Amino acid sequence: MNSGNHDELRDRVFDSASALFAVLAAPCRVRIVGELCQGERNVGELLALVGGSQPNLSHHLRALFEAGVVTRRRAGAKVYYRVVPGRSQALREMLQGVGVLGQAAAGGTAEASDGPHEAKEW
């Protein structure tokens, strides 16, 4: 592989990572992804867990879907979302690393048995 191809590949990797971080820049989207790392949820379940309005939640879910972070399926009148297979573990580890996973959706108290997590400064 010549250095030009290596540079192009490296640039694509950084562009992809940057796009992922950009879509996760909204706290509501991080909360949604955190819930979906726990398992598939329908829109009503997500609304109860993350709060806000249904139109706002739909906006964020659409952005996550278009960015390739989540996938969706329809079952009757309900739409179910989940993290795209193959990305779940990486997103889970990233969210655990910054203390997001293990936080209760409503109260922000630690659910994990290893005690409360503090948000890390990067």
**pLDDT tens digits for range 74-95:** 999 999 999 998 887 888 888 8
* Alpha-carbon span 26 to 62, nearest angstrom: 13
Domains of the chain: 3-97 (1.10.10.10)
Q: Is 115 exposed, middle or buried (0-12, 13-18, 19+ CB in 10 A)?
A: exposed
pTM over 0.75: no
